[in-house]
Amino acid sequence: MRVKKRFSLLAATAALTVSCAANAAPIFINILTGGTSGVYYPIGVGLSQIYSEGIEGSKTSVQATKASVENLNLLQAGRGELAFALGDSVADAKNGVEDAGFKAPLTKLRAIAGAYPNYIQIVANKESGIKTLADLKGKTISVGAPKSGTELNARAIFKAAGLTYDDMSKVQYLPFAESVELIKNRQLDATLQSSGLGMAAIRDLASTMSLNYVSIPAEVVTKIGNAAYLPAQIPANTYDGQPDPVPTVAITNILVTHSDVSDDVAYKMTKLMFDNLKRLGNSHSAAKDIHVQNAAKNLPIPLHPGAERYYKEVGAL
């Protein structure tokens, strides 16, 4: 009898030890962003700091990537817990559009929130004479990494405007910072960027040379035929030498996680973001356009149950 009691005590102690060890296991939150000179990265850093302080036992990190398409594929593979991605790329990922960079439907993706809009921003060295989309014919342009969210945007817009890459004298597939450096060095005429307003790379370029900001007319947006693309404007004076509003396209960014992230962690990630929006806006002004009332609407993938719980609590569903 004494042996049996001793065995029971040992078993209970072992179970308690295992339970404590499990409770003490770190919560890894790797945030997948984009290039360091874009908007995803500084907002990702801001979220990382908020989560590190607000989620007990968390170990947060921020990973610079090629953005939307790479981020979604990494999430599906379990190599990140939160990612920024453009809404049209998320829809393509769900449907497994191979030409968009998805070899099969990504079934694990779950939404945390619809965030701020990306604006398509086409800027050209003023000396190039590029003022309209048609003026890009015979010129050199950078359109982002191959099959990145930005490059997919470029394809859609050019097609709607009756243009193809063959109309350009040269198309480069480069990230923000490298595109800007080539324009500074007169090795590139223009670049198309898909980003939040006030992005560092364009601010830097505008401070060093005169630029033309190329309009994307509303009729071109309509011809794209994709509900994710909405007519919008870059407000006047967003950048140096841009005194007038510029018609363009807006595409909602989505914060995405995956189904293996626990409901509790997803809930905390969602709640902490909205509880700290003012602080997040200090990371980058684009984050000031994140609003809880719109965050759960018109999403191309299901909400994570943890995020859904938060939106029900605050009456946003």
Query: What is the per-residue pLDDT for 227?
Result: 81
Residue 41: name the closest of 9, 63, 18, 21 by CA. Answer: 63
Domains of the chain: 28-115+253-313 (3.40.190.10), 118-251 (3.40.190.10)
Element (H, E) at 142: strand 140-142
Q: Assess whether pLDDT exceeds 70 at residue 153.
A: yes
Q: Rounded to an integer, what is the distance from CA 294 to the centroid of its chain?
A: 17
Do 151 and 296 touch, CB atoms closer than 8 A? no
Contacts 24+ apart (CB under 8 A), 292-296: 292/316, 294/114, 295/113, 295/114, 295/115, 296/111, 296/113, 296/114
Structure tokens at 242: 């841009």
Task: List the single range of 8-17, 26-35, 87-96, 296-305 with lowest mean pLDDT.
Answer: 8-17
Beta strand 190-195 with 109-125 is antiparallel
Query: What is the per-residue pLDDT for 161?
Result: 97
CA distance 144 to 309: 36
Query: What is the per-residue pLDDT for 23?
Result: 56
What are the tens digits of pLDDT across the range 95-146?
999 989 999 999 999 999 999 999 999 999 999 999 999 999 999 999 998 8
Average pLDDT over the chain, rounded to an integer: 92
Confidence of residue 38 (pLDDT cuts 50, 70, 90): confident
Identify the DSSP state of 286.
G
Higher per-residue pLDDT: 311 or 16: 311
Percentage of the chain beyond pLDDT 70 is 92
User: What type of residue sits at position 211?
Assistant: L
What are the tens digits of pLDDT across the range 247-287?
999 999 999 999 999 999 999 999 999 999 999 999 999 99
